[in-house]
Amino acid sequence: MEDPYTSTLPHFHTPLLSSCPLWWALIKESMANENEKVDQLKPLRHSTSHIMAEAVMDLFPGTKIGIGPAIENGFYYDFELPRPLTLEDLPRIEARMREIIRGNHPFIHREMSIEEAREYFRDQPYKLELIEGIAKGELGTHGEEDAKPSETVSIYSHDHFTDLCAGPHVSHTGQIPEDAFKLLSIAGAYWRGNEKNPQLTRIYGTVWASKADLDRYLWTLEEAKKRDHRKLGKELQLFILPEEVGSGLPIWLPKGAQVRKLIEDFVYQNQVERGYQHVYSPHIGKKQLWITSGHWDLYGDKMYAPMDIDGVEYLVKPMNCPMHMMVYKSQLRSYKDLPIRIAETATVYRREQSGELTGLLRVRMITQDDSHIFARPDQVKDEFLHVLDQAFYQFGVFGFHEFEMWVSVRDPRNKSKYLGNDAQWDNAERAIKDALDSRHLKYIVAEGEAKFYGPALDIMIRDALGRKWQCTTIQVDFQLPERFQLEYMDSESKPQRPVVLHRAPLGSLERFFAILIEQYAGAFPVWLAPVQMKIITISDRHRDYAFQVASRLQAEKFRVEVDDRSERMNAKIRDAQLEKIPYMLIVGDKEMEAKAVAVRLRTGEDLKAMPLDDFIALARRVVDSKSLELK
């Protein structure tokens, strides 16, 4: 059967990863290794959280305890304390934890009846709430919802501390390296994540298999502070978040806007080469659109209030889906027309909670590299894989090669939160899993994480510091075609429903830009750098030549600035390095005479003087290849 994807394209410029077995092998290996490391550390981290809870209760009598799970890179525990904690308390808690570890106490598991548990935890109100939830089947041991009713609870004990817990744990406290854990921070956290509940004190910590691993992680935390996109965004004049405009509403400054435009152009061209057609749609639409789509009923808490226009209610769009359904419905479609790939780089608006807003990582104005693919059922697998190829290709260009995949499915115990019937959901979930299985890719199935209208593949990328960021989402949707009555005519001229794939490989451009700032520590690759070259004069008499060089470079489409201030050359070089400018071109008497430039890199490396034409050839090669290197 002819490939419906490549058959629409006379020429394909960017490589599909399906033809790169080594790349796919590296992706699969990175995901497998990461999952294995996390599984090995989970019991260690969970056990350390229990030891921390015991230490806190010993040092602060009267403490009420919440829950304390292992999390990525560490653990936490929530407490109601007799007094507020400060960072100065953490070393005391650590010292008591080391005493407990040295006791080499075994972790002992047993089942306790509900009645016995009520009596044992009679002075612990948060544990009693969990026990009642477990008895009724409303909660699991760790607070997860919709479990089965139980007559017993699972507990773990060590030393004189006992907690509701399903494990896993290490065998005894002595297995935790005394020099490989550290308490990191204190935060407030509402009990069970509900702002109507009491606010507890949460202590975060980390533990690793060795001191070397801990030291490496602590270095990563310090490095992350230096790379914080909010700090660098201000220093490099990339974006602002003025309070006068409103929380979560960024303004892109000229340099940041330049980078964003380059990213958008790259994505646009890549989409064109992959057969996408681009559209523009309005920022507002009739409320009825989102009632039809189901967003108003199931996503309404993230949407802004309706506005009245001529007696009709309109909404600021939270996503583009209904608009693209209208594009599909604008004309009759044949099975021969499919797949149809509609793309739009569009800004949507979502009512995020104030406490969730974080720089560009979580905003209320979200720009997506959005697309909806309308396909026949027999095309879904191929289209899904093509989107996967596109995502990995684009991530590779930006320097990301380590991934984790989550297949987000509905919660089987609470189907009322989702549109559609079992058969539709089963078909959509099977389509995603079959596509991933065909590439032998490992993935995690995340129950309850699906969007209300369909399951999705979520791709997490790992940055230069090993941190994980969720970016790509690919959803298989049988619901919106039904709700919007989308049709195509099959080979027998009978109407059929298409399947829709929602996809945004980079996710939010704001979020991805923040990730890039931190990935590169503000030192963007040359092709993305807002200013690629700064020409630095040694003295005033070199000013005319500097502007001649700038004019030539600008004619070659490079982004150039001239620093002709009456400052010492070394001071101007240092300033350019602080601005993360890739190339510093120093011009003096020798360079004027030879029609050359003396080239220094922002890394401090001196490439010495070279003819201007040679430098242009070097820079052109680096930019055109989108290299992450400077030479």
CA-closest candidate to residue 203, choices 82, 69, 41, 100 = 69
Distance, CA of 397 to chain centre: 17
Compute the distance between CA of residue 100 and CA of residue 51 in angstroms, rounded to an integer. 7
Which contacts (CB < 8 Å, 24+ apart) does range 118-126 have? 120/162, 121/164, 123/64, 124/64, 124/65, 125/64, 126/64, 126/65, 126/66, 126/67, 126/78, 126/80, 126/191
Report whether 238 contacts 228 (CB < 8 A): no
pLDDT in tens, 92-129: 999 999 999 999 999 999 999 999 999 999 999 999 99
The token pair that represents 322 in the structure block? 């209904």
- In this structure, are residues 107 and 170 in contact, taking their beta carbons and an 8 Å threshold? yes
C-alpha to C-alpha distance for 285 and 306, rounded to whole angstroms: 10
CA dihedral 98, 103, 108, 114 (to 10 degrees): -70
Residue 143 has pLDDT above 90, yes or no: no
CA torsion, ordered 278, 282, 286, 288, to nearest 10 deg: 20
Over 60: is that where the pLDDT of 12 sits?
Answer: no
**Confidence at residue 300, expressed as pLDDT on a 0 to 100 scale:** 85
Residue 487 CA to residue 460 CA, distance in Å, equals 34
Comparing 9-13, 156-160, 184-188, 538-542, which segment has the lowest mean pLDDT?
A: 9-13
Q: What is the mean pLDDT of residues 453-480?
A: 87
Average pLDDT rounded to a whole number, residues 501-509: 92
What is the pLDDT, as a whole number, of residue 39?
Answer: 66
Q: At what angle are helices 21-59 and 90-102 packed, to 10 degrees? A: 100
Please, are residues 560 and 511 in contact by the beta-carbon 8 Å criterion? no
Q: Give the pTM.
A: 0.81
Instruction: Count how many residues are written for the chain.
Output: 631
* Gyration radius (Cα) of the chain, Å: 28
Q: What is the average pLDDT across 524-535?
A: 97
pLDDT, position 9: 29
pLDDT greater than 50 at residue 221: yes
Q: According to the model, what pLDDT value does residue 48 have?
A: 96
Residue 177 confidence class, pLDDT cut points 50, 70, 90:
very high
Q: What is the pLDDT of residue 36?
A: 46
* pLDDT band for position 144 (cuts 50, 70, 90): low
Q: Determine the residue type at 439.
A: R
- Average pLDDT of the chain is 89
Q: What is the pLDDT of residue 13?
A: 30
The DSSP element (H or E) to which 54 belongs, if any, is helix 21-59
CB atoms within 10 A of CB 19: 9
Q: What is the pLDDT of residues 581-594, one digit of tens each?
A: 999 999 999 999 99
With contact defined as beta carbons under 8 Å apart, do 387 and 503 qualify? yes
* pLDDT given at position 592: 94
**DSSP strand pairing (199-207 vs 74-80):** antiparallel
User: Which two tokens mark 436?
Assistant: 């991933």
What percent of the chain stands above pLDDT 70? 93
Q: Output the CA–CA distances (angstroms, integers) from residue 215 to 66, 121, 182, in the order listed.
A: 29, 38, 10
- In the predicted model, is pLDDT for residue 416 greater than 80? no
Average pLDDT over residues 6-14: 29
Section 214-227 average pLDDT = 92
Better-scored residue on pLDDT, 16 or 192 = 192
Give the pLDDT confidence score for residue 66 in this predicted structure.
94
pLDDT in tens, 291-350: 999 889 888 888 999 999 999 999 999 999 999 999 999 999 999 999 999 999 999 999
Q: Alpha-carbon distance 626 to 224, whole Å?
A: 25
Residue 522 is classified by DSSP as T
Summarize pLDDT for 55-91 with one digit per residue, the tens: 999 999 999 999 999 998 899 999 999 999 999 999 9
- The CA distance from 115 to 148, in Å, is 17
Whether residue 24 is predicted with pLDDT greater than 70 in this model: the reply is: no
**Angle between helix 380-397 and helix 254-273 axes, rounded to 10 deg:** 140
| Listed ranges 26-35, 152-161, 457-466; the one with the highest mean pLDDT | 152-161
Confidence label for 193 from pLDDT (cuts 50, 70 and 90)? confident
Judged against a pLDDT cut of 90, whether residue 409 lies above it is answered with: no
Q: Which residue segments constitute the domains of the chain, with CATH numbers given?
A: 38-224 (3.30.980.10), 241-520 (3.30.930.10), 533-624 (3.40.50.800)
The Cα–Cα gap between 190 and 197 comes to 6
Cβ neighbours of residue 187 under 8 Å, at least 6 residues apart? 201, 202, 204
Distance between CA atoms of residues 502 and 447, nearest Å = 19
The pLDDT value given to residue 299: 83
Of the CA atoms within 13 Å of residue 37, those in its CB half-sphere come to 14
The whole-number pLDDT of residue 141 equals 54
Residue 136: phi, psi to the nearest 5? -85, -10
In this prediction, residue 522 has a pLDDT band, given cuts at 50, 70 and 90, of very high
Token pair for 136 = 């009724």
